[in-house]
Amino acid sequence: MGQSVSSVIRAVNGEPCHEKRREAEDVLNTLIAVAEDKARIHQSKVAKFPIDGEILPVEKIVGKLHMVHCGVKKDPASVKQVMRECLRNRVREDIIDGLTAVTLQSVERLTDVINGKKSSELISYAVVLGKPGGIGRLDCYFFYYRFGSTTIASVAEDCLITSLVFSSVDSSRLHANDLCRLVEPAYSASLPNEQYETTRQRTKSIERQLLNALKNAPRHRSAPVVLAPTADVLKSATISMPSKPSIMRTVSGGRA
């Protein structure tokens, strides 16, 4: 996803003007602190109020990480490599492809939604299948910011804060119908230059694997959760944000 903050700081350190260098370092160090704060808030909300927790209940948080990358709009495809690095030890290969595809779509939405604003954010989740074979959950938070400082913009015009939270799921509260409803919105996106048929086959394969994992689980729900007809299974919202920091978010149909 573009450059890491550390590489941008190294580039800024080559700036001959002391005042510009100090300004850039201050902005980037503040960015790191903001990333940690936003990740902490996201992790807390996943633990206490997970989106659609009645359908995909969080049993225990088993892993979390956050990162900051700059120059995202110029190099959005690099998200593919970054996501693979983050997910390869936790989920299966075809799951990684599906999550990477939908993340690429999310990054494109974030960078295109600005329209004169400096920032936007997106919250989403997906059902996943871990390498050991258990059903899990991945909650994602993305915050995109476009720099106004000409000093920073000369090195990196924007940044993306990403927070990922991995959770185990209580299989006794799952139902096959609910899992099927979760797969399509989370995995139907295509990778760059990927044929539709390849995407469709991967989505169907993921659905079969999840259903098999549920079948082999000790217990599962006897009836599906009844949702309103307009309910959106993969809850996500892209919100234009003011230039000043704000924690307020709105996620249609669920808790933010």
pLDDT digits (tens, 9 = 90+) for 178-232: 999 999 888 989 988 899 999 999 999 999 999 999 988 876 554 455 443 333 3
What is residue 138's three-state secondary structure?
strand
Contacts of 200 (CB under 8 A, 6+ apart): none
Token pair 């450059």 in the structure block, residue: 3
96 contacts 87 by C-beta, under 8 angstroms: yes
pLDDT digits (tens, 9 = 90+) for 52-76: 999 999 999 999 999 888 888 877 7
pLDDT digits (tens, 9 = 90+) for 105-153: 888 888 876 566 788 899 999 999 987 788 999 999 999 888 877 777 7
Q: Which of the four pLDDT bands, split at 50, 70 and 90, describes residue 235?
A: very low
Its pTM stands at: 0.78
249 contacts 121 by C-beta, under 8 angstroms: yes
pLDDT digits (tens, 9 = 90+) for 11-22: 555 555 667 667
Domain ranges in the chain are 3-222+234-241
Q: Is the pLDDT of residue 154 over 90?
A: no
pLDDT, residue 168, reads 92
Nearest alpha-carbon partner for 256 in 44, 31, 62, 112: 44
Listed ranges 2-16, 35-49, 88-102; the one with the highest mean pLDDT = 35-49
The CA–CA distances, whole Å, from 157 to 77, 111, 144, 224 equal: 16, 11, 11, 46
pLDDT, residue 250, reads 29
